[in-house]
């Protein structure tokens, strides 16, 4: 089972995230946790989230990049759900699961450079999320990053959506065979 934890406060206004979500919405092996739909008032049902994660082989974090990090509700989700005694520090609930980071950025890839407006190459912003996953004992997979969400053509977006879908399908197949 793949659990997609997604966070976009205005899903009907997003372009890239909506395209990505649409591409995987029919997959049967996916359980979606659209956080802003589930908890519009930002009060997360921790028990329900943990129940969903318990059955997952793969955990996906899908979100637009806000201030070089996750949107507030996904950040809150890390704090509430991945708590001590459950995810670490005595708890190993997520250990051994695979973690896929899927994010979209408004800027182009070349804006992420030492002399670009963002001052660092894109890889510099990955460590906080990567280490969050690893600290909980999860395997960090090669992330799927969609740059330039504002400028991508519909065709290019569809292509990235198809790529996302293919990644999930192959992950699902691999995990299923590993279970046997």
Partner 1 sequence: MSERGLLEDALVYLGAAVVCVPIFARLRLGSVLGYLAAGCAIGPFGLRLVSDVESILHFSEFGVVLMLFLIGLELEPRRLWQLRGPVFGGGALQMAASGAALAGCGLAVGLTWRGALVAGLAVALSSTAIAVQTMRERGLLAQPVGRAAFGVLLFQDLAAIPLVGVVPLLAEGGAKSDGSGWLGLAKVVGAIAGVVVLGRYATRPLLRAIAKTGLREVSTAFALLLVIGIASLMERVGVSMGLGAFLAGVLLAGSEYRHALETDIEPFKGLLMGLFFIAVGMSIDFGLVARQPLVVLALVAGFTAVKLASLWLVARRVGLDDGPSPQGAMFAALLSQGGEFAFVVFGVAAEARLLIGDWDKRLTLTVALSMALTPLLVIAVSRWQRRRAPAPRAPDEIDADDAPVIIAGFGRFGQIVGRLLFASGLRATVLDVDPDSIDVLSRFGFKVFYGDATRLDLLESAGASRAKVLVDAIDDVTASLALVDLAQHHFPHLTIVARARNVTHWLELRRRGVVVVERETFDSALSAGRRALEALGVGAHEAFERAAKFRRHNVELLEELRGTDLDQRERTQRARAAREQLERQFEADRGELDRHAGDDWRGA
**Minimum CB–partner distance for residue 165 and partner 1 (Å):** 31
Residues 94, 164, 30, 6: what is their CA dihedral angle, to the nearest 10 degrees?
70
d(C-alpha 145, C-alpha 165), whole Å:
14
Q: Which is nearer to partner 1, 43 or 177 (CB)?
A: 43
C-beta of residue 73 within 8 angstroms of C-beta of residue 42: yes
**Minimum CB–partner distance for residue 55 and partner 1 (Å):** 21
For the segment 10-49, give every residue that binds partner 1 (CB under 8 A): 41, 43, 45
Q: What SS3 class is residue 94?
A: coil
Half-sphere exposure of 93 (CA within 13 A, CB side): 20
Among 1, 83, 145, 156, the residue binding partner 1 under the rule CB under 8 A is 83
d(C-alpha 4, C-alpha 2), whole Å:
6
For the segment 86-105, give every residue that binds partner 1 (CB under 8 A): 89
Q: Which is nearer to partner 1, 84 or 153 (CB)?
A: 84
**Minimum CB–partner distance for residue 39 and partner 1 (Å):** 9
**Minimum CB–partner distance for residue 4 and partner 1 (Å):** 23
d(C-alpha 116, C-alpha 120), whole Å:
7
Q: Which is nearer to partner 1, 43 or 153 (CB)?
A: 43
Q: Which is nearer to partner 1, 28 or 41 (CB)?
A: 41
Q: Which of 31, 38, 39, 78 is nearest to 55 (CA)?
A: 31
**Minimum CB–partner distance for residue 51 and partner 1 (Å):** 14
Residues forming contacts to partner 1 in the complex (CB under 8 A) are 41, 43, 45, 79, 83-85, 89
């Amino acid at each position: 089972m793949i659990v997609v934890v997604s966070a976009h406060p205005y899903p009907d206004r997003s372009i890239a995230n909506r395209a990505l979500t649409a591409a995987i919405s029919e997959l049967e092996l996916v359980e979606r946790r659209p956080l802003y739909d589930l908890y519009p008032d930002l009060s997360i049902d921790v028990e329900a989230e943990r129940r969903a994660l318990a059955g997952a082989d793969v955990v996906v974090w899908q979100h637009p990049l806000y201030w070089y990090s996750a949107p507030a509700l996904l950040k809150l989700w890390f704090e509430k759900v991945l708590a001590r005694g459950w995810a670490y520090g005595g708890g190993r609930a997520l250990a051994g699961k695979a973690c896929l980071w899927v994010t979209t950025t408004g800027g182009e890839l070349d804006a992420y450079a030492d002399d670009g407006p963002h001052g660092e190459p894109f890889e510099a912003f990955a460590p906080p999320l990567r280490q969050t996953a690893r600290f909980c004992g999860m395997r960090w997979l090669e992330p799927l990053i969609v740059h330039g969400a504002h400028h991508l053509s519909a065709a290019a977006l569809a292509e990235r959506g198809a790529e996302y879908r293919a990644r999930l399908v192959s992950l699902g197949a691999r995990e299923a065979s590993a279970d046997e």
